[in-house]
Amino acid sequence: MKVIDRICNVIDTMNDWLGRIFSFAVLGILGVIICEVILRRFFHSPQIWTQDAIVMIFACYIILICAYGFQKKAFVAVDVLFARLPLMAQYILHIVTYVIFLVPFLAGLLPNSWTFFWNAYVTGEKGYSVWAPPTWPVKLCLFIGLLLLSIQTVSELLKQVRGILEAASGKKAGTDGKEAL
């Protein structure tokens, strides 16, 4: 149990810190929007780069905080029937759904996202707008975000395994006073 707890703690701490750091990208989006509004309304000088910058920063923001959201259970979940199941069944159902849906998704997308980034970087791929920004930074963020989500998935699977082991041995679920779900 201690090994599982240490692994989960390291992964959760890393994604917690990175999620908090990446969340400041919202301020970048806000800054670009404010810049565009001021330049357009007060100086009658709209910029060709602001729309692309907003979309690119937002795309990076969303994918980079996915692991943080997964760790904090921030995604929408309808638990009407799930919550009525016994705790052991909940742990097992989490593992089954992660293994059937999330793991294959990440296993397929993670290597492809690296290829996606690498091709954009090597070829110097540019966006389709007049500004034509390089696309590789956003594609690199896609790879990093999926990698962090994959690592967080390991932690979440281990937490479910820990919950099963503790439930089977009669201990209370979770080592930090919280339920492992």
Number of domains the chain contains:
1
Q: Identify the pLDDT of residue 145.
A: 98
CA distance 162 to 109: 27
Q: Is the pTM of this model over 0.75?
A: yes
For residue 180, is it within any domain?
no
Taking residues 15-40, report their average pLDDT: 95
What domain range is 77 assigned to? 2-169
In a domain, 165, yes or no: yes
Does residue 39 fall inside a structural domain?
yes
As a whole number, mean pLDDT of residues 116-131 equals 95
Give me 144's structure tokens.
């990093």
Please check whether residue 67 is in contact with residue 19, taking contact to mean a CB–CB distance below 8 angstroms. yes
State how far the Cα of 66 lies from the Cα of 164, in Å rounded to an integer. 26
Q: Per-residue pLDDT for 177 more than 50?
A: no
Q: What is the pLDDT of residue 173?
A: 56
Residue 172's pLDDT is 65
